[in-house]
Structure 1
């Protein structure tokens, strides 16, 4: 039996079943990139019924933990020289996330990270044994997910679909990917990324997703406003 089947690791995902998780993040330079602002956003989405939060960075996780006992997915982002993002790429970053109060630690479990200084398959057992936290694998493909499940993760999320070399630039949910994940995995599957309308979240749950993570469509006024602007702009010609 893998560590991922341990009930203590699965309990946060049981609490999230059928729920909407809101990712309260802001890119560097975004007008919302402010701890007090993001904490107010987190407070607001919790009042709106969010079943959990996703947070980046220890200061934000600590601030959100003070707001709620609902599950928090914690990450730390780093960037390489090309601007590519990596999610919680080391045990040091995983421990920082855990110490800040996150219930779940999300890792970049894509193939590109297998040659990293600390490959993610080596991080999973350490997080389980030393931090006693469940691991959420952020993946971009079925192959990523299957490899992560074999390595002992407790759940997978489609977070990195659209952000790897093979999927770069895609900004719509992959329903075939979700269907394949649900069909082939025995661990919880979270749909994360590119959800813009409530019916899409309902569809994901109907297709078997354990929960749905939504970010920009709820928390970023710039993105929301631009969607309305683009929809009402006259077509060229």
Structure 2
């Protein structure tokens, strides 16, 4: 998948149960629209959505499963259960929370990586990180790529944005690790996407600015 998305745009097609567009059918059509617009890959949540998307488009898919657990704040592909669902779905890449936070049932990130490598060696792994420490750890654990997905969404980085201080966090990650770094998180304009690529990002993931009309509408309304 990495070779297919290099230098391109990955569109995140996701809608949670509390959102108006929550539907595997609708997400498959979102993916089709993204493909026709020039996307090189899709990021999708849940086995059901991934299967529907794969029937609609031939783009490679980064799969995740978002699920809440009582004993941890980690919710993106948090345990073996989610890994199994994604392998069954047949996505080309699996993304998981790669922060240093405590995981559900005290499962270690290392255990999850080893589990995927043993069960489905052809599947590539994306590390969703929030800090530079996370990025360094992910590279050591053998992830195929890093994504800045969780920067601003953890207790330690709460409220921070990828583009804060002229994309300083992205620049630092790019300078620190040698595996591909994919820009993700509040990339909401074509100009921001262009900046990420110019700085050396391998690719970029854009979601809300393309596939979440409720959030797009809110941004317009808030300007009034």
- Which secondary structure does the structure 1 equivalent of 2:110 belong to? helix
- For the residues of structure 2 that align with 1:103 and 1:68, how far apart are their CA atoms? 13
| Aligned match of 1:190 | 182
Measured against aligned partners, the alpha-carbon deviations of 1:105-139 in whole angstroms (never above 9, x if no partner) come to 11111010368532111111221121111110000
Alpha-carbon distance, 1:165 to partner = 0.2
| Aligned match of 1:7 | none
Greater mean alpha carbon deviation, residues 111-120 or residues 172-181 = 111-120
| Aligned match of 1:100 | 89
- For the residues of structure 2 that align with 1:217 and 1:173, how far apart are their CA atoms? 15
| Aligned match of 1:42 | 31
- For the residues of structure 2 that align with 1:71 and 1:113, how far apart are their CA atoms? 30
Matched, 1:228 2:220: yes
| Aligned match of 1:214 | 206
| Aligned match of 1:74 | 63
Matched, 1:203 2:213: no
Which structure: larger Rg? Answer: 1
Matched, 1:149 2:139: yes
- Which secondary structure does the structure 2 equivalent of 1:98 belong to? helix
TM-score relative to the length of structure 2? 0.93
Q: 1:66 to 1:195 in 2, by over 3 A?
A: same
Match of 1:113 among 89, 95, 102: 102
For structure 2, the 5+ residue unaligned runs are none
Alpha-carbon distance, 1:67 to partner = 2.1
- Check conservation: 2:77, 2:95, Cα contact below 8 A: yes
- For the residues of structure 2 that align with 1:146 and 1:109, how far apart are their CA atoms? 10
| Aligned match of 2:75 | 86
TM-score relative to the length of structure 1? 0.88
Q: Once superposed, what is the RMSD of the aligned Cα atoms?
A: 1.7
Aligned residues between the structures: 221
- Which secondary structure does the structure 2 equivalent of 1:111 belong to? coil
